[in-house]
Chains A and B, each alone.
Chain A
Amino acid sequence: MDLIQIRGVKKTYKNGVTALYDLNLDIKKGDFVFVIGSTGCGKSTLIKMLYREEKPDKGSIVIGGKNVVKLRNNKVYKLRRQIGVVFQDFKLLPKLTVYENVAFALEIFGLPKNEIYSKVIKVLDLVGLKNKAKHYPTQLSGGEQQRVAIARAIVNGPKLLICDEPTGNLDENTSMEIMNVLEEINKLGTTIIMVTHDREIVDKLKKRTILLDSGRILKDYEKGTYKHEGIKNN
């Protein structure tokens, strides 16, 4: 079953730059998909449209049976609750502890305290940071900070996890640690879409890989068939 169906999506920014031309893409539930391509190929636009930070000019994006293009602005939060997003720069709140940063995503739902506690501890355990719950982000390494961000993204059990170059700021070993965590999450049933520049990771993990070039899908490698011809401007 497809979790995401993208049909005929076109996006032109106000400054006249066309980021995507007539994009069609299906992503199955439980998949792990890499999106690669050189800078400015439209990968950021693509994932921004998935969590409705950008709206396409044409076409439809159906996630879990709902067309998010038609979603009204004041209802966007309902979509966001089903999607976790992880960024290159972590986007943690520096004045909150690790625990509070993760709990932040649950508190807005008005869950009872003990429920929040058990969920946060469970997810911190999953990313291996249970013993650092009381630390502040600045006291953590980059890899640890990214794991906190991942914990926050998945704490309310989203169907889809979007990762925008999650290893972009991290060294090789730490990157692999993050990838292990992501694979673990994927095994638990969460669909993951990850934008990356990191050739090595894509080589090693052998997942389905979509190569974008100037707003079009150049190649769609099935699981395990990727050879690193795609990434040039690295």
Chain B
Amino acid sequence: MKALRIISRNIRDSFKSVFRNFSLSLASISCITITLIVVSISIILSYNVNNFAENVEKDVTIVVFLDTNITPEEKDDVEDLIKKIEGVDTYTYQSKGEIAKEMMESSDVFNNIMSSWDDEASPLQSTFQVKVKNIEQIGDVAKKIKKLDHVGTVKYGEGMVEQLVSVFEIVKKVSIGIVIALIVVTAFLIANTIKITIFSRKREIEIMRLVGASNINIKIPFMVEGLILGILGAIIPIIITTYGYSALYNNFDGQLFSPFIKLLKPEPFIFYVSLVLLVIGILVGMFGSWRAVKKYLKI
């Protein structure tokens, strides 16, 4: 009962003092708001870049050309072996008949030439299109397939793919690094702002100590206050994220400049980002208050 009363008093008083010291609270809140907006933008950017990278990686395939005169049994053997190779995600088979049909449909010139071919005479090669689970393994997988019997050429855009992979790896790491750095900077920035606001309440802390409040007793209301400031500071960034990103997505029809660069769907993405912003706001607010009060509790 006693503990409950102390806790409820702390929460009530924290709310009161947020509004009693409103101009100071506003300083902390706007500091949290501005930095959280920047954090939000960088999270959205980095996730979209990552999403774009993943999409590109998913599109990369290994094309396996089989020997021209391969029998259906031999083709099945090759298929079984490809299936067993580690790192292979999915694959599709296109027989030379299907390829010819596709080509003939695409142009009249091809149609004229190729209509006289039967399966035996066709110079085309049947293919497997193999997708890998992890783009970094593409080279190894291609090498393994190349060694199989009845396999002719294996192509996957050598050189280009490796470059793309390494560029995307760097982009991913840098963008995660920027987000983390921003969060840390935000934490200290807000901690300092709160420190200044608490400095003006030195007297309050002094009196609390004089009348016999234990250190925890003093810290808790200030930390609850930090929590409230964090929540209040996160409101505007969350609104901007939610409505701003949805509007951006709709405005660009979900793609940037070309269909090649697809934006992440707003839902559920914006909810995750909002949750992250709220959590950062709360943690940073509490951390800031805790650090600021600690300074005045030394004897």
B173 within 8 A of A: no
Tell me the chain A residues, 63-92 only, with Cβ under 8 Å from chain B: 73-74, 76-82, 85, 91
Question: Beyond A74-B215, A91-B203, is A110–B210 a contact (Cβ under 8 Å)?
Answer: no
Question: Beyond A76-B299, A91-B203, is A81–B5 a contact (Cβ under 8 Å)?
Answer: no
Contacts of A107 on B, CB cut-off 8 Å? 9, 13
Contacts of B5 on A, CB cut-off 8 Å? 110-112
By the criterion CB–CB under 8 Å, are B207 and A104 in contact? yes
By the criterion CB–CB under 8 Å, are B211 and A93 in contact? no
Contacts of A93 on B, CB cut-off 8 Å? 203-204, 207
By the criterion CB–CB under 8 Å, are A77 and B217 in contact? yes
By the criterion CB–CB under 8 Å, are B212 and A80 in contact? yes
Question: Beyond A91-B207, A93-B203, is A81–B212 a contact (Cβ under 8 Å)?
Answer: yes
By the criterion CB–CB under 8 Å, are A110 and B212 in contact? no
Contacts of B85 on A, CB cut-off 8 Å? none
Contacts of B20 on A, CB cut-off 8 Å? 95
Contacts of A82 on B, CB cut-off 8 Å? 212
Contacts of B212 on A, CB cut-off 8 Å? 77-82, 105, 108-109, 156
Bound-complex Cα distance A109 to B206 (A): 17
Contacts of A104 on B, CB cut-off 8 Å? 207-208, 211
Minimum Cβ distance to chain A for residue B44 (Å): 41
By the criterion CB–CB under 8 Å, are A77 and B299 in contact? no
Most B C-beta atoms less than 10 A away, residue of A81, A93, A107? A107
Those 5 A-B pairs whose CB atoms lie nearest each other, nearest first: A81-B212, A105-B211, A80-B212, A110-B6, A110-B2
Write the residues of chain A forming the contact surface with B, with a CB cutoff of 8 angstroms: 51-53, 55, 73-74, 76-82, 85, 91, 93, 95, 104-105, 107-112, 152, 156
A sample of 17 cross-chain residue pairs with beta-carbon separation below 8 angstroms, ordered by A number, consists of A51-B210, A52-B299, A53-B299, A74-B215, A76-B299, A77-B209, A77-B217, A80-B209, A80-B210, A81-B211, A81-B212, A93-B207, A104-B211, A108-B6, A108-B212, A110-B6, A112-B5
Further 13 A-B residue pairs, CB within 8 A, beyond A80-B211, A110-B3, A156-B212: A51-B210, A77-B209, A77-B213, A79-B212, A81-B211, A82-B212, A91-B203, A91-B206, A91-B210, A93-B204, A105-B212, A108-B212, A110-B5
